[in-house]
Structure 1
Amino acid sequence: MEHSSLRDACTSPNALFSTPQDDLLRMIYQEFTHDIDRLKRAYSIRDEQPLSQTSKSPSYILYQADYDEVNRTLVGFLSLRWIHLGQYENFVGSQPHDAQLKRESFKWIQEFYNEVITDADALYALITSIIINDLGKDPQLASDYYKTTGTDIAHLNHDAILLKACQARLIHSLEKLPPRYKDDLIRGMELGATFNFGQMAQAENVPACLSGLDLMKERPHCFQMRLMEQLLDIAGAAGHMDYTCAKKLIQPIFDSYRNVYDACQSIIVGTSNTRAGYDIILDRRSETLHAVGFRLVDIGNMEDRALMRLLCMGNAVTHDKASLFQNAWDSLNTDTRRVLVSTLNLDGQSGEPAVQPTYMPAFLSRLKDERSLTHALCYLARVMTLSEPVDPSVVVIERSLLGVMKKYVERGEFDKDPTILERIDVPDGVVAVTI
Structure 2
Amino acid sequence: SLNVMDYLYYGGDENYHKLTAGQSDANRLTREEFEEFHQWVASNLPGEHSANVMRYIMLIHDLGKNQTLASAVMGEDAADSVDHDEVLRRLLRSDYAAKRTELLPTFSQLSEADQAIIRDVINTELNLGQFIQAEAPAAALAGFAESTEPVRSLYIMHTLFDIAGAAGHVNAESSLLLTSPLYNQMAAACDVLTDSTLSTDNARYTHYLARRAQRFGLDNDAIEQLINSQAYIHTVRLACMLRYDTPEEYQQLADALDTLPGPVQAILAQELSNDGIHQRATLPCYGPALLKGLEKHHSLGTALTYFAHVLQEAHIADKAARKAGETGIVTADLSTIAQAANQGTLDPHQAELRFHHSGEMLVSTYQDTPELAIDSLPAFDSEKLRGKRIIYLGMGGGSDGIQAAMLSKLHQQHHAVQPTAIVSVRNFAADNNKQLAHTGRQISDATVEITEETTRVGDWRFLEDIIAKDETIAPVYLLNSIEPEQIARDLQLLIRETGADAICGIDTGGDVLYRANTAIDPTTSSPDQDYAVLTALHMISATAEADGTPLDIFTAIVAPGVDTPPYANDMLARSNAQRYLLHPDDTTTITQTYAAWRMDGSASEEGLYGKTPLAWIAALTGKHGLQPLTLPRANATSAHNPWRIFMNIRPSTASVVMMHAERLYQAVNHD
Q: In the alignment, is residue 251 of structure 1 matched against residue 184 of structure 2?
A: no
Query: Which of 267, 276, 287 in structure 1 is aligned with 2:203?
Result: 276
Partner SS, residue 194 of structure 2: helix
Distance in 2, Cα, partners of 1:324 & 1:161:
42
Runs of at least 5 residues in structure 1 that lack an aligned partner in the other structure: 1-75
Contact 2:11 2:38 in 1 (8 A): no
Distance in 1, Cα, partners of 2:285 & 2:331:
7
Q: In the alignment, is residue 402 of structure 1 matched against residue 335 of structure 2?
A: yes
Partner SS, residue 92 of structure 2: helix
Q: How big is each residue's C-alpha offset from its partner over 1:126-154, in whole Å with a ceiling of 9 and x where there is no partner? A: 1111122233333444322332xx33465
Distance in 2, Cα, partners of 1:160 & 1:307:
33
Partner SS, residue 97 of structure 1: coil
Runs of at least 5 residues in structure 2 that lack an aligned partner in the other structure: 362-671
Query: Which of 156, 163, 174 in structure 1 is aligned with 2:89?
Result: 163
Aligned residues: 343
Distance in 1, Cα, partners of 2:260 & 2:107:
49
Distance in 2, Cα, partners of 1:232 & 1:328:
34
Q: In the alignment, is residue 312 of structure 1 matched against residue 245 of structure 2?
A: no
Sort the Cα spacing of 1:374 and 1:356 in 2 relative to 1 into closer, same or farther, 3 A.
Answer: closer
Sort the Cα spacing of 1:107 and 1:215 in 2 relative to 1 into closer, same or farther, 3 A.
Answer: same
Which amino acid in 2 is paired with 1:210? L
Sort the Cα spacing of 1:362 and 1:184 in 2 relative to 1 into closer, same or farther, 3 A.
Answer: farther
Q: How far off is 1:283 after superposition?
A: 0.8
Distance in 1, Cα, partners of 2:222 & 2:197:
28
Query: Which of 118, 132, 142 in structure 2 is aligned with 1:185?
Result: 118
Contact 2:53 2:114 in 1 (8 A): yes
Which amino acid in 1 is paired with 2:20? V
Q: How big is each residue's C-alpha offset from its partner over 1:177-209, in whole Å with a ceiling of 9 and x where there is no partner? A: 3222222222222223xx122211111112222
Q: In the alignment, is residue 129 of structure 1 matched against residue 62 of structure 2?
A: no
Partner SS, residue 26 of structure 2: helix
Q: How big is each residue's C-alpha offset from its partner over 1:163-182, in whole Å with a ceiling of 9 and x where there is no partner? A: 23433445444444322222
Q: How far off is 1:288 after superposition?
A: 0.8
Map of 1:60-75 to 2, 5 A cutoff? none
Pairwise CA RMSD: 2.9
Which residue in the other structure is 1:104 paired with?
32
Distance in 1, Cα, partners of 2:171 & 2:334:
24
Which amino acid in 2 is paired with 1:160? E
Map of 1:188-207 to 2, 5 A cutoff? 188-192=121-125, 195-207=126-138
Q: How far off is 1:301 after superposition?
A: 5.5
TM-score with structure 2 setting the length: 0.47
Partner SS, residue 169 of structure 2: coil
Q: How far off is 1:248 after superposition?
A: 0.4
Partner SS, residue 328 of structure 2: strand
Sort the Cα spacing of 1:429 and 1:259 in 2 relative to 1 into closer, same or farther, 3 A.
Answer: farther
Q: How far off is 1:278 after superposition?
A: 0.5
Query: Which of 51, 57, 79 in structure 1 is aligned with 2:4?
Result: 79
Contact 2:242 2:288 in 1 (8 A): yes
Query: Which of 381, 395, 398 in structure 1 is aligned with 2:311?
Result: 381
Contact 1:92 1:100 in 2 (8 A): yes
Which residue in the other structure is 1:25 paired with?
none
Q: In the alignment, is residue 361 of structure 1 matched against residue 288 of structure 2?
A: yes
Contact 2:11 2:35 in 1 (8 A): no
Partner SS, residue 348 of structure 1: coil
Which residue in the other structure is 1:213 paired with?
144
Which amino acid in 2 is paired with 1:411? Q
Q: How far off is 1:156 after superposition?
A: 4.4
Q: How big is each residue's C-alpha offset from its partner over 1:13-45, in whole Å with a ceiling of 9 and x where there is no partner? A: xxxxxxxxxxxxxxxxxxxxxxxxxxxxxxxxx
Distance in 2, Cα, partners of 1:185 & 1:227:
13
Q: How far off is 1:265 after superposition?
A: 1.6
Which amino acid in 2 is paired with 1:164? R
Q: How far off is 1:118 after superposition?
A: 2.4
Which residue in the other structure is 1:264 paired with?
193
Which residue in the other structure is 1:413 paired with?
345
Which residue in the other structure is 2:251 paired with?
323
Contact 2:152 2:194 in 1 (8 A): no
Which amino acid in 1 is paired with 2:349? T
Sort the Cα spacing of 1:387 and 1:173 in 2 relative to 1 into closer, same or farther, 3 A.
Answer: farther
Partner SS, residue 284 of structure 2: strand
Partner SS, residue 144 of structure 2: helix
Query: Which of 334, 337, 344 in structure 1 is aligned with 2:262?
Result: 334
Partner SS, residue 142 of structure 2: helix
Q: How far off is 1:249 after superposition?
A: 0.7
Distance in 2, Cα, partners of 1:403 & 1:166:
31
Q: In the alignment, is residue 286 of structure 1 matched against residue 213 of structure 2?
A: yes
Distance in 2, Cα, partners of 1:427 & 1:228:
36
Q: How far off is 1:98 after superposition?
A: 1.8
Contact 1:399 1:430 in 2 (8 A): no
Contact 1:383 1:427 in 2 (8 A): no
Contact 1:394 1:431 in 2 (8 A): no
Partner SS, residue 308 of structure 2: helix
Contact 2:292 2:342 in 1 (8 A): no
Sort the Cα spacing of 1:243 and 1:135 in 2 relative to 1 into closer, same or farther, 3 A.
Answer: same
Which residue in the other structure is 1:239 paired with?
168
Which amino acid in 2 is paired with 1:102? T
Bigger CA drift: 329-338 or 383-392? 383-392
Contact 2:290 2:342 in 1 (8 A): no
Contact 1:400 1:427 in 2 (8 A): no
Which structure has more helix as a fraction of its residues? 1
Q: How far off is 1:310 after superposition?
A: 0.8
Contact 1:187 1:215 in 2 (8 A): no
Which amino acid in 1 is paired with 2:6? R
Contact 1:101 1:249 in 2 (8 A): yes
Distance in 1, Cα, partners of 2:88 & 2:314:
26
TM-score with structure 1 setting the length: 0.70
Which amino acid in 2 is paired with 1:78? N
Distance in 2, Cα, partners of 1:260 & 1:248:
16
Distance in 2, Cα, partners of 1:116 & 1:397:
34
Larger Rg: 2
Q: How far off is 1:313 after superposition?
A: 1.2
Query: Comparing both chains, which one has the higher relative contact order based on Cα–Cα distances under 8 Å and sequence gaps of 6 or more?
Result: 1
Distance in 2, Cα, partners of 1:383 & 1:288:
32
Distance in 2, Cα, partners of 1:374 & 1:175:
50
Contact 1:302 1:345 in 2 (8 A): yes
Sort the Cα spacing of 1:141 and 1:349 in 2 relative to 1 into closer, same or farther, 3 A.
Answer: farther
